Structure 1
């Protein structure tokens, strides 16, 4: 479409804000200060251009740009930042080893990292002492190395837990490697008595079309194309550990999941939030979805009545959600200020985080949780009018 005189109208542009708060003593907040922050801190974007996704781990962060470049910061003592050293970084720093690749997805574990390229290659670095890097040994690496097992398998997604990793590859195959002590690798109990440093196929998902995988702590989980949730590893709410994937018996259809150390969040296709496990949310509305005493109870998270939730995230022991209106709400453990409410109090129910105004120019809001810290990326449309740029930020 053209304006007066046949001059093309400039295309709308985007502007973004990145906020962080919570535990920050390892530089994971990207503020250049080594301290906890109890309120959201607006970051300078000069070193963090056009974020397409974040992955938050134990105390480090991975950022992917819209052009497929990778930046990392925070704790680097095991080489998890991929910079070729074991130094911390309090500001985002490019991972130069991956400059020749377009990275489309990444995951951050407690002290290891994994990256997926657009060609389906998998790279890992960081702590490898449990075999969680998948290279056939227990060596730690300070620069990303290609996992040879997946060279001809086309990796679609990777998820890093505390001491293990999961990979979803083309052909609907899910593999695990690393520590399997609690069953989180999804293989037979005989094999999980020792560490597994080469990828092994997860049992029981062969006939399931998996669209999403997740890992945190000693938990593993997946969502199928039909909206079913499968979990394995450490049991929730004191239930027994599960050696192979078990389908959660529920009539609900799920589209997103997030794992903490002791809990799981589940988002339904209708925008309702449910949880499994020992979170601080004691007042959840219990649903009669329990099949037997060994199955963890699925509970609806209170506080979202009449509100549609678009996205969820989970840290070690805190939770976050983005509502349809673009608001960010947090609840759970607050010792490091990771709830962003200006204090270190725990919260049983979702609480609104103050991040400035939201109006019709707010395009998208995403929340990401590390073990004890939180990030939000918010995008705005910048409209051009008569040669002027009009924005709400």
Structure 2
């Protein structure tokens, strides 16, 4: 009994903090220092059990899913921390204006933030100069403000890109996905003319009337959606240097995907069998074999157009990530120009004394 109790206490300690490293000159590491760190630094939370974090351009959102509370830190010059000011914050602080809501999902963009409550409301704050807050103007907000377009709807997820935002409604809806903000690279999946390059109110993303969506993803000028049966759709900035896509895709990849991660110029997709594929990603070796520095193409039955073009010669190809033979991948993540993955762990059984 004592051993089990000790293990439980150790698990609680691990869950009460985050590890962070890298650039820290705007407080985004939460260490109370304006300092870059080459090694992971631990930030402890004495009162909150953090279960999810979202990283933006230089700010972080932490969510405690047990009680629906939110903390933020890092760059706050556009109000993206939701603290009511434009100050940077060197350590985690609660977003007090959301204390009366149970927050179930969060997302961090370049300089804006999004929050979804368990009763289906959606709130945004931060930079609004491209309409990415969805309030019908181009003003920045220093406190989370409810997006009233969804007042009579139930929002389940939000995904913040560099200057645009996607919202997913709960359940199988005829129009499940909305987009707002910058759309000049096609990342909103709505028609944008040459004069009007952004939308400051949520617009329906066309093409998903008969599709049930499980997850939405946004990063840079890219957008993606994963269906409940594992099909991937993507739209926005072209992955392979081709012209941008200004509408939602017309076809998907015939592999069953369980996770998707987007960078600025590449996308990762994880299958139900633990195999990892990539779109784009040649420029910085983001998913290249360290020796070969190249990517292996999928066979013809594993690839198809997914960016809304009927011309297969212009469609980017999914490629299997090399160097992972026999290794099962269980989790993936993508930054602007880098990638990370987690492989399957072996369970070590203790011998009974």
Q: Establish whether TM, by shorter chain, passes 0.5.
A: yes
In structure 2, the residue matched to 1:283 is 294
1:61-81: per-residue Cα shift (whole Å, max 9, x none)?
000012110000000000000
Inter-CA distance 360–246: structure 2 relative to 1 (3 Å threshold):
farther
Alignment of 1:284-323 (within 5 A): 284-288=295-299, 289-290=303-304, 292-323=312-343
In structure 2, the residue matched to 1:104 is 104
The CA RMSD over aligned residues, in Å, is 2.3
CA contact (8 A) 1:254 1:268 kept: yes
1:45-66: per-residue Cα shift (whole Å, max 9, x none)?
337x211211111000000012
How far residue 101 of structure 1 moved from its aligned partner, in angstroms, is 0.5
In structure 2, the residue matched to 1:59 is 58
Aligned residues: 324
How far residue 192 of structure 1 moved from its aligned partner, in angstroms, is 8.0
CA distance in 2, matches of 1:174, 1:119: 18
How far residue 191 of structure 1 moved from its aligned partner, in angstroms, is 8.1
Residue 46 of structure 1 aligns to a residue whose secondary structure is coil
In structure 2, the residue matched to 1:200 is 203
In structure 2, the residue matched to 1:209 is 212
1:314-359: per-residue Cα shift (whole Å, max 9, x none)?
1111111111118xxxxxxxxxxxxxxxxxxxxxxxxxxxxxxx95
CA contact (8 A) 2:79 2:141 kept: yes
Inter-CA distance 35–303: structure 2 relative to 1 (3 Å threshold):
farther
CA contact (8 A) 1:70 1:95 kept: yes
How far residue 11 of structure 1 moved from its aligned partner, in angstroms, is 10
Inter-CA distance 193–312: structure 2 relative to 1 (3 Å threshold):
same
CA contact (8 A) 1:231 1:247 kept: no
CA distance in 2, matches of 1:19, 1:297: 35
Structure 1 stretch displaced more, 10-19 or 298-307: 10-19
CA contact (8 A) 1:136 1:198 kept: yes
Report whether the alignment pairs 1:242 with 2:254: no
Structure 2 unaligned segments of length 5 or more: list them: 306-311
In structure 2, the residue matched to 1:129 is 129
In structure 2, the residue matched to 1:182 is 185
How far residue 194 of structure 1 moved from its aligned partner, in angstroms, is 2.8
Residue 27 of structure 2 aligns to a residue whose secondary structure is coil
In structure 2, the residue matched to 1:86 is 86
CA distance in 2, matches of 1:133, 1:296: 31
Structure 1 stretch displaced more, 150-159 or 20-29: 20-29
Inter-CA distance 145–359: structure 2 relative to 1 (3 Å threshold):
farther
CA distance in 2, matches of 1:105, 1:360: 35
CA distance in 2, matches of 1:316, 1:186: 21
CA distance in 1, matches of 2:195, 2:25: 35
CA contact (8 A) 2:192 2:198 kept: no
